[in-house]
Every structure is written in C-alpha cells, then in structure tokens.
Amino acid sequence: MLSFDFDYHAPSTLKEAVSIYQILERQGKQPLFYGGGTEVLTLGRLNLVYSDALIDIKNIPECRVQMLTDKHLVLGAALTLTALTERNLFPLLSKTARGVADHTARNKITLGGNICGEIFYREAVLPFLLTDSYAVIAGNEIRTVSFDEVFNQFLQLGKGEFLVQLITNRNDLRLPQFHIKRRKQWNIGYPLVTVASIKKAGTVRIAISGLCPFPFRSKKLEEALNNNDISIESRINEAIQHVPSPILHDVEGSDEYRIFVLKNTLQDVLESYQGGES
Amino acid sequence: MYIIGKSVYRKEAVDKVTGEAIYTNDIQSPGMLHARMLLSPYAHARIISINTEKAWKIPGVRAILAGERFPLTGEEIRDRPPIAVDKVRYFGETVALVVADNPVQAKRASELIEVVYEPLPVVNSPTEAMQANAPLVHENIESYEKVERVNPEPNTNIANRTKIRKGNIQKGWSESDVTVEGTVSFSPSDHAAMETRCSIAEIRQDGYVVITTSSQAPFMVKKLINLYFGIDTGKVIVNTPLVGGGYGGKAAVQLEILAFLASRAVGGKKVKLFNTREEDLVTSPCHIGLDAKIKLGCTRNGYLKAAEILYLFDGGAYSDKAVDVSRAGAVDCTGPYHIENVWCDSLCIYTNHPYASPFRGFSHSELLFAFERTMDMLAQKLGLDPLELRRKNAILPGHTTPTQVRLNTSNLGNLPACIDRLKEIMKWEEGQRSIQPDGLIRAKGICCIWKTSTIDTDSSSGVILTFNPDGSVNLISGVVEIGTGTKTILAQILSERLKMPIELIHVRMKVNTQTTPEHWKTVASRGTYMAGRAVLEAAEDAVEQIKKVAACVLHGAVSDLEVAGGRVFLKDEPSTGIELKDVVYGYTYPNGNTIGGQVIGRGTYTLRRMTYLDPQTGEGRPGPEWTVGAQGVEVEFNKRDFTYKIIRAVSVIDIGKVINEKAAQGQVMGAMAMGLCFGGRESFVFDEQGRVLNAQFRTYRPLRYGENPEYVVSFVETPQIDAPYGARGVGEHGLIGMPAALGNALSIAAEVNLNQLPLIPELIWRAKKGNQHALI
C-alpha cells in the first residue's frame, strides 16, 4: 500500500518516453522511469521512494530486445531477470541474476531496474563491468557508451535519461568465469560478498558487490591478483589493500568479517582458475 | 484400532489448498473503517509533544488516538498502555492510532502526525538491566495493578523472580568432583507466522462488543475486554476463523484492544486493524531473548549432583506473558535429568526491547540451549560420551522434577528408549566427528528434551456434539485451528469412540465465544489432551442418551446396547438394532408417537490437581505430564570459512500414542525447521540505541524450502494413562532441542564452545579468534 498517488504513463517509443519525462518535469512533477516496479512498491510503501508520475518502459520494443548479432549480445533494460536466465545467452549474467532476490521477484525485476535501482547491491552490473560492454542510453539523443566509463558506483545517467540496452561483445560471453555469492547464512539473503570473475587473455578480472555500498571493479586490485610471481596468499593480501571504502558494517556482517570472507572468496576464484575449471 | 494411528486428511484441507479458506483479514464489509498505527522510532524516549493537525486534514479521517490515558493492560502486571503515553519503551511501540474510511487514508494521516521525542538511555539486554546504575524501564512498578503470585521488585528492572530450591545445593557441591560453568545469551526474535495479526472490532448499538481476530485465545480476549473496559463478559463476542500460524505469538492480546479503542472512538463502527509485516515483527509481541548462567556439578563417573541456574529472560518493555514464560523456565529449568540438588532463579527482566509473548516451546528451546550446551561442556570435561552422560542421568519414574513432582510411568515418557533410538538413527557408534575426503568436517550434536505445560490451574475445555437427521455428528470445540490439525485429531478421537466413519463427523472450524464451549487457549500442546478428553466425555453423554431411547424401542436394558457404525444394537445380537438417524431426533413410532428428543452430547475437561508454585522453593504441580525426547543434528562444516550445512536433523519423541501419523510427523518436522532457523539464523539485530535493524523479511529470514536438511522423525509410545488413547502433547517438542543440538554439533565441529545464537558463520569466526564482541 502506497501513501502517494501517481500518474501512470506507458510510452511505446523511446522518443515518447523522453518527451513525456520532459513534459512532466515542466509541470513540476517528479517523474520516474521504471521497469518491474518491485522497488516502487516495496520501498514506496516505506516512503523511501517517491514519484507522482511513473513512466513504464516495458512497452518500448528496444527495451525488450534479447538477441545475438554477429558480434554482439543485445539485452533490453526491461527484460526480467527470469527471461535472461531462461534464454541463458550470457551464462555469467544468468548465474549472477539467479542470486538476486527470489524467483517470484525475479519474474518482475528487470535488468535495468536491478542496475539503476536504489538497493545498492546491483549485482547484475558485475558481468558488464568485466566484459567489453556498452550501455545504450536514451535522452535528448540516443548515446552508446562504454559500460565501465558510464558506471561508477552507479549508472551515471543525466536528468531525464534512462537505460535502454546493454551490448556485450560476443567473444566475451563464454570466457572462463566464476560467480560466488557468500551470505550471512545459507542460501537466502543479500550478499556479504558477491564476486564475479572472468579470465580473458590470461588475465583474471574481478568485480565485487556487497563489500561496499556499491558494486565495483578495481584495476589495481586486479593487478595485484594477476601478479603471478608471488603466492596466491600474498596476491590476495596485496589486493585487499585496494578495496575502496567504506566497507559495509551492517546487519549482514561486520566490515572485518567481510574482508575475511572476501579473502576466502578470492582464493576460491584464483585456485579454481589454476585448476583449469571454468 | 478403528482409526487411531491412521493418517487422515485434515478437515480443512480442501479449503486451504483451493484458497477458499477465510482468515480474519479476508473479511470485508460495507462501512468498515480502517485503523493504522504510528510507531515509535526510538527504543526509549520521552514523548514531548504530539501534533495531529496535519493528519486531521486528510479526507476520510474519523479519529486519531494519541497521548490519551487508557486503562493499563497486561496479563499479570498491568504495566502497558495500549497506546504509549509520556514515554515510549521499545522500538516499534504504538504511539498513535488513526481511523479512516480506507486504509490508504489512515496510512497517509498516520505519516503526518508529528511527534517530538527526547531520547532516554536504553536498556539493551537483561544483563545490562541488572546493573546497579541501569536506567529504569518502568519507574514505578510497585504502582501497577497485578495478580497475586507475581512480584515486581521496586527500583529495579525485575518484573518477577521464580525460585527453585530443591534439595541442598551445598550438599550437591560437596558431592561433586567435577564442575563446569556455562554462559549463554541470545537476543529476541520473532514467530514470523505466515498470517500477520489482524483484528476487527465493533460496538453495537445494543452494547454488545463483537471482535473478530486472528488469535489463539479468543476466550481470553473476552475476559480481558471485560477486565480492562468493564464490558460484561456476556456482551463480548469473539469470533476466530482459521488462523495462519500462531506459535504462541497470537496467544497474547494486543490488536484486539486497539481495534476496540478505535471502534469506541468512532461511535462503535466496525474497524479493522491489520499488521504490516514490520508491525507484526516488532510492534506485536515477539519471541523472548535470554541471558543465562549454568553451573553443574557431578561425580567423577558422571552422575549429576548439583545444578545452579540463573535465567534472565528478556521480557522486553512490558511484562504481559513474559512473566509466565520465565516461570515455565524455572519449572523445567534443568532439562530431563535426575538431579537432587537444584537452585534456580528465573527472572523476567524489563528491557527496551519489543515485548515478549509465548513462543512455541514456552521457554524450553531457550533454557535447553543453555542447559544442554553446558551438559556438553561437562561431558567434554569428564571425557565422557555426551549421549552416555545424558543416559546415565536420564529422568525416570520415581524421580522428582525441579518443582518436586514425583514422576511415574504415566506422567513421564521413556527417555532412555528415546536416547537409544536416537543413537541408532544417528549411527552414533561411527563417531561424533569425522573429516571427509574433501576436507569438510562431519559432526553430530545431540540434546535431550522435556516439557510440561505451565498453564492456569483451572484451565478447561468443553465440547458439544449435535446430530444431523442423517445420523452424522457435528463437533463443536473451542480449539482454534491454527494450522496444527487439532480439530481433525478431535474428529478422529470421536470417530474411534463412535466407530463411525470420519466422513460423518463434521467439524466446526470457526470459534464464536457465544456459541462455542470454551477451550482455555489453543496453546501449550494441550489441544489433543484437554479437548480430546472433552470429546470423549461428550461422546459418552451422547451414547447414553441414544441408548436410553433405543432401550425402549428395542425392549432391552441400556446395558445390553452398543453404539457403533452408525447404529445402536444389542451387543449379543448385532442384527437387532436401529440406525442412529432414527434415534438422534427422538424415535417416532408408526402411529406418530415420539419418544426422546434431540441428542446433544456435552463434555468438559478441567486439569486436575494443579497447584501454584511455592514462592520460596518452587514446589508445586504446574502441569499434567512431561513429554520427553532426544534430538540430534548432523552438520557438514567448513573449517576454513566456518560455513556449514545441516545434513540431517533427527527427533525421537515419546508421543504416548500416535493418533494421526502424518499429522504428527508434520508437526514435528515443522517444529524442527523453526528450531533450526531460530538456532541458525533468526534473530533481531539491535543497534546501540536498541532499535531493531532487521524488522523486514529482506533481512529477517525464516527457513525456506531448499534450505531444509533431511528430517528424521521417530516416535516412542509410552501411553499417558489419563490422555485420550494415551496421546501426549507434541505440538512444540520438535522445536525445543534443535538450537542446542545444532550448537553442540557446531561446537564439536569447530572445536570451540559456541554459546550464543544465532549460530552464523561470523559467530564461529569470532569464537575461533577468541573475540566474542557483538556483531554491531
């Protein structure tokens, strides 16, 4: 149950969506693009999210694309996490997506919603941080930008912009890869640490969620992990020096414990690559 | 046996699987108003001012209740204002109540109420509450009205103290060669029933108060509305439809009072109050926490001689049912062992935490975690097999309980038989700890359990049987169907007694306190026993009435007759008889003359020979029987990262007699799941200001499908002679040893004593580091 009323708009083209936003804003409204609506409902009922004009992007064909071209995988922002995992065109994304919420919720949660939402784990970004990927963003113009440039703690969208698609280099889809999610206890809940990893051209790449109040990939951390001259233990000890701050310290676990879990998880990833598994 | 022991479907099964079952919040009616609470964001604060001006501007608002002094409430100590006045004492406490035409208006208005607070120092655990300079949660406890036999200690945070003084503790220590001391603690948590609580109240123009509520205690609602507000008990009618899980949380009376006040504020109109999940977790009463200290002494060869116990139960901000929970904790303070010298103080402590209600097991899972962890520590010190230590000391007929009840083969189950069966199932001879080829550690932990029900000494249950023209029976009992299937069990008991197909027994599911005979409360695993006895008495009564009429018709003596299979007939000549349908509304002769009349069977049962506890020694008979059992948990533990998986969980319980096998197994498995999750994950996380940081299912996580281990349930059958067909209570017992068995398994696996809950990997990591600091 929400305390606030809102107008509902369901544009069918990108252009229409952008112009509706601009019109609403001129009218003094607080418009919000949305996909699955799970955060609008669950955070809205606690008044942690507010909007008086919601713009549903699910009817825009570009936002629902799920296709492989010769060189790329194109995924629409309004695809549900369930739709992604069922087609399984990007195995690392499927694994990561399956760790988010529960099945019923994933039937609603969209790729764009998970990436742009308020809940800061945003685990669906991890595979895109690791691969050669691009974000297609609609605003006054449609722009295509390198994902690691446009994602810094959160997706750097301008006012009135929204995420349309994510494009990933086809060659990166089936590289050796790992996804490990460690929780406070057993198989349900937010991550203490989620690590997604690929190995490309002999180099291990790592992206992390749950450790800090934002997901990240750190080049320095990766450099340390790829220093094959020293032991895995030394590499990990060096790598954690490059973890950004702040480290989360909350109901899921303390900061100190999260580092302990991260070390173990990194070790699992590195040892698994050594074992030649993928 | 005709039907006892068979797994018959629940009478309400079709309703539930088709979704047609009606729960309180499903009830809507035209003109019904809706109430919404405003909650305290502080655990302890003075209320400086409340401004409702903006809230009143929301269209549809009919009443706002805030800052008003209503009668204080509470079952033993009347310490709780239904809506906070002067100060708030826990995070989530009700500060205001808005009544509006629809729920959205009520919510909007509640959000616009402006309250100014002045934060006060917080009492954040029972141990803190006991410190000399601790802030007082209640400044004037001596001023509260209370029942006899409860003694709040002025100028402290102690709501009550129950003492057990059995034997001579000094003698016990002098006979002991080995002693061990264990300290245990855990925070409050919750029941997390699927159905959040809901109450609807109406005050009719004729003065009758009609309340519909998701409650385990509709008859208590009636009594308390009378006590608090002076409404004649005959003018309070309480309806309870199906209840979506109680677990003790719905034995406390809270929303009913608020719904009544809301209705009264709008001229008696019907008002509904429905908890959000957050409210159900923290605003309504929760599962009690505990700080405990246990010292045990035994001889060199492992015979227990002394137990010295301090239980500090975290009753939270208001004492309500927590006093009784802490009293039950004293009654079975030791676990199921023969110990001649016992000293126990069980205290109910006020803190600035959400207040406690009963939780499935009523203090037993809590105290058994403390006691059974200490037993394992003792076994380790003695170098004795922990199961052997327990078998040596197992309580037996002839022994006495901590409250000095002499046990016999009827009021006590067979614990050694349970231990032996557990040993077999868990393949105990293969060892308690082993390292697997993949490096993971397999470890087994065990625990013994017992429980009696510390309930009111005059608790009773009534049953009425009426008949239909086809000879079938209607069974009307005050037991609330809270998901345990008890009403189906009652139908089986009746079916057995009348030798009548269970399809011909119609069970009334809803309770209406005006038309349903009272069942004290649907709590304490007492439904089968008390209501079952009432069913048998009602059946006897009906059979006598049937026989009397049939004796005339059949020209025989009453003693020559038998009722079975839908007929009444001559015992020695079964072909001579008449159908029940021709007797139960009186018998009509061919000429029209009718003898007899409607058969209405009536039965009641009241617990017998129950006594209060002696205030100095605790001596007394608090409950009718002790169900015993032995439980085990097997874990697979990763010693590198301290994560673990529960592989198997085993319960061997002396159930007396299995009445419905699948139902009994379901009760035990469900209870085991709750116990494992209470032990392994479910707990409120408090910050330093006493606020609950995880009052949502996002972060407070009951066990889900797929996380469950293999469950093994096995029953021993030692009949309780005075119970229906010998059946003992079993609604709670599957739960109560699980946290201890899990703690024991993990302590063995990790080779460190784990004496806190929940047993999350971070706790084990800290224990291994020797750092016991709290999480946050």
Q: What is the mean pLDDT of chain B?
A: 97
CA distance B707 to chain A (A): 7
Q: What is the mean pLDDT of chain A?
A: 97
B203/A223 Cα distance (integer angstroms): 73
Residue A253: strand pairing partners: A250
Chain B residue closest in CA terms to A249: B776
Element (H, E) at B182: strand B178-186
The pLDDT tens digits for B187-230 are 999 999 999 999 999 999 999 999 999 999 999 999 999 999 99
Residues of B in contact with A249 (CB under 8 A): 776
Q: What is the three-state SS of B521-534?
A: CCCCCCHHHHHHHH
A249–B contact, CB cutoff 8 A: yes
B411/B397 Cα distance (integer angstroms): 8
B177 belongs to a structural domain: no
Same domain flag for A73 and A102: yes
Same domain flag for B358 and B497: no
Same domain flag for B701 and B715: yes
Select from B2, B684, B774, B657 the least CA-distant residue to B351.
B684
Interchain proximity A47–B111, CB inside 8 Å? yes
Same domain flag for A212 and A249: yes
Residues of B in contact with A185 (CB under 8 A): 680-681, 701, 758, 760-761
User: Residue A274's pLDDT is what?
Assistant: 85
Same domain flag for B325 and B435: yes
Select from B303, B267, B408, B357 the least CA-distant residue to B74.
B357
Cis? peptide before B126, omega within 30° of 0: no
Contact of B88 with B117, CB cutoff 8 Å: yes
The pLDDT tens digits for B103-151 are 999 999 999 999 999 999 999 999 999 999 999 999 999 999 999 999 9
A204 belongs to a structural domain: yes
Residues of B in contact with A254 (CB under 8 A): 762, 775-776
B739 to B373, B675, B677, B759: CA distances (angstroms): 10, 6, 8, 9
Interchain proximity A261–B103, CB inside 8 Å? no
Contact of A158 with A139, CB cutoff 8 Å: yes
Select from B482, B12, B454 the least CA-distant residue to B248.
B482
Structure token pair of residue A40? 């609008």
The pLDDT tens digits for B630-684 are 999 999 999 999 999 999 999 999 999 999 999 999 999 999 999 999 999 999 9
Q: Dihedrals φ, ψ of B682, to 5°?
A: -80, 120
The pLDDT tens digits for A141-192 are 999 999 999 999 999 999 999 999 999 999 999 999 999 999 999 999 999 9
Residues of B in contact with A3 (CB under 8 A): 104, 107-108, 111
Same domain flag for A231 and A185: yes
Same domain flag for A65 and A163: yes
Residues of B in contact with A252 (CB under 8 A): 699
A2 belongs to a structural domain: no
> B251: domain CATH number?
3.90.1170.50
Residues of A in contact with B765 (CB under 8 A): 257, 260
Structure token pair of residue B547? 């026989």
A250–B contact, CB cutoff 8 A: yes
The residue-averaged pLDDT of A73-88 equals 98
Residue B255: strand pairing partners: none
Q: Residues 6 or more apart from B318 whose CB is under 8 A from it?
A: B74, B79, B80, B89, B350, B355
Structure token pair of residue A31? 């418009």
Interchain proximity B762–A184, CB inside 8 Å? yes
Interchain proximity A1–B103, CB inside 8 Å? yes
The pLDDT tens digits for B294-335 are 999 999 999 999 999 999 999 999 999 999 999 999 999 999
Interchain proximity A3–B698, CB inside 8 Å? no
Question: Among B576, B606, B636, where does a domain finish?
Answer: B606
B129 belongs to a structural domain: no
Same domain flag for A65 and A129: yes
Same domain flag for B672 and B649: yes
B535/A255 Cα distance (integer angstroms): 59
Q: How many CA atoms lie within 13 A of A86 on its CB side?
A: 9
Same domain flag for A209 and A228: yes
> A146: domain CATH number?
3.30.465.10
Q: In terms of C-beta density within 10 A (0-12 exposed, 13-18 middle, 19 or more buried), how is residue A179 classed? A: buried
The pLDDT tens digits for A26-52 are 999 999 999 999 999 999 999 999 999
Chain A residue closest in CA terms to B685: A251
The count of domains in chain A is: 3
- Does this complex have an ipTM over 0.85? yes
Interchain proximity A188–B707, CB inside 8 Å? yes
A209/A219 Cα distance (integer angstroms): 15
B524/B729 Cα distance (integer angstroms): 8
How many cross-chain Cβ pairs, A to B, lie less than 8 Å apart? Answer: 60
Q: Dihedrals φ, ψ of B438, to 5°?
A: -85, 5
B152 belongs to a structural domain: no
A126/A116 Cα distance (integer angstroms): 13
Interchain proximity B641–A186, CB inside 8 Å? no
Q: Which of A3, A249, A264 sits opposite B641 (nearest CB)?
A: A264
A275–B contact, CB cutoff 8 A: no
B254 belongs to a structural domain: yes
A1–B contact, CB cutoff 8 A: yes
Question: Among A122, A149, A170, where does a domain finish?
Answer: A170
Domain that holds residue B205: 16-120+191-282
Q: Which of B111, B641, B699 sits opposite A3 (nearest CB)?
A: B111
User: Among B38, B762, B765, B772, which would you mutate to test the A interface (most chain A Cβ atoms within 10 Å of its Cβ)?
Assistant: B762
- Chain CA centroid to CA B576, Å: 49
Residues of B in contact with A251 (CB under 8 A): 685, 693-694, 699, 775-776
A274–B contact, CB cutoff 8 A: no
Same domain flag for B427 and B475: no
> B639: domain CATH number?
3.30.365.10
Element (H, E) at B258: helix B255-265
Question: Among B282, B305, B331, where does a domain finish?
Answer: B282
B400/A176 Cα distance (integer angstroms): 66
Domain that holds residue A260: 177-275
Same domain flag for B518 and B432: no
The pLDDT tens digits for B389-425 are 999 999 999 999 999 999 999 999 999 999 999 999 9
> A219: domain CATH number?
3.30.390.50
A256–B contact, CB cutoff 8 A: no
Same domain flag for B92 and B195: yes
Structure token pair of residue B477? 């009992």
* Torsion angle of the four alpha carbons A93, A98, A100, A101, in this order, in degrees rounded to the nearest 10: 160
Contact of B452 with B331, CB cutoff 8 Å: yes
B339/B175 Cα distance (integer angstroms): 12
Same domain flag for B231 and B331: no
A1 belongs to a structural domain: no
The count of domains in chain B is: 3
Give B152-164 as a DSSP string: --TTSSEEEEEEE
Terminal Cα-to-Cα distance of chain B (whole angstroms)? 57
Chain B residue closest in CA terms to A182: B643
CA distance A270 to chain B (A): 16
The pLDDT tens digits for A183-240 are 999 999 999 999 999 999 999 999 999 999 999 999 999 999 999 999 999 999 999 9
A253–B contact, CB cutoff 8 A: yes
Q: What is the three-state SS of B719-776?
A: CCCCCHHHCCCCCCHHHHCHHHHHHHHHHHHHCCCCCECCCCHHHHHHHHHCCCCCCC
Cβ-based interface (< 8 Å): residues of B facing A: 103-104, 107-108, 111, 276, 640-641, 643, 645, 680-681, 685, 693-694, 698-699, 701, 704, 706-707, 758, 760-762, 765-766, 775-776
User: Residue B774's pLDDT is what?
Assistant: 43
Structure token pair of residue A2? 């929400």
CA distance B662 to chain A (A): 28
User: Among B111, B688, B775, which would you mutate to test the A interface (most chain A Cβ atoms within 10 Å of its Cβ)?
Assistant: B775
Interchain proximity A254–B775, CB inside 8 Å? yes
Same domain flag for B463 and B451: no
- Strand A142-146 and strand A133-138: the pairing is antiparallel
User: Residue B771's pLDDT is what?
Assistant: 57
B238 to B221, B256, B411: CA distances (angstroms): 7, 10, 34
Interchain proximity A251–B707, CB inside 8 Å? no
* Torsion angle of the four alpha carbons B162, B166, B169, B175, in this order, in degrees rounded to the nearest 10: -150
Q: Output the pTM of the full model.
A: 0.97
B585 to B32, B269, B539, B556: CA distances (angstroms): 41, 41, 16, 20
Chain A residue closest in CA terms to B695: A251
B211/A161 Cα distance (integer angstroms): 53
Q: Which of B680, B707, B762 sits opposite A187 (nearest CB)?
A: B707
Runs of H (alpha helix) within B46-168 = 53-56, 103-111, 126-129
Q: What angle do CA A96, A102, A108 make, to 5 degrees?
A: 90
Terminal Cα-to-Cα distance of chain A (whole angstroms)? 45
Q: Dihedrals φ, ψ of B694, to 5°?
A: -130, 50
Give pLDDT < 50 ranges for chain B: 773-776
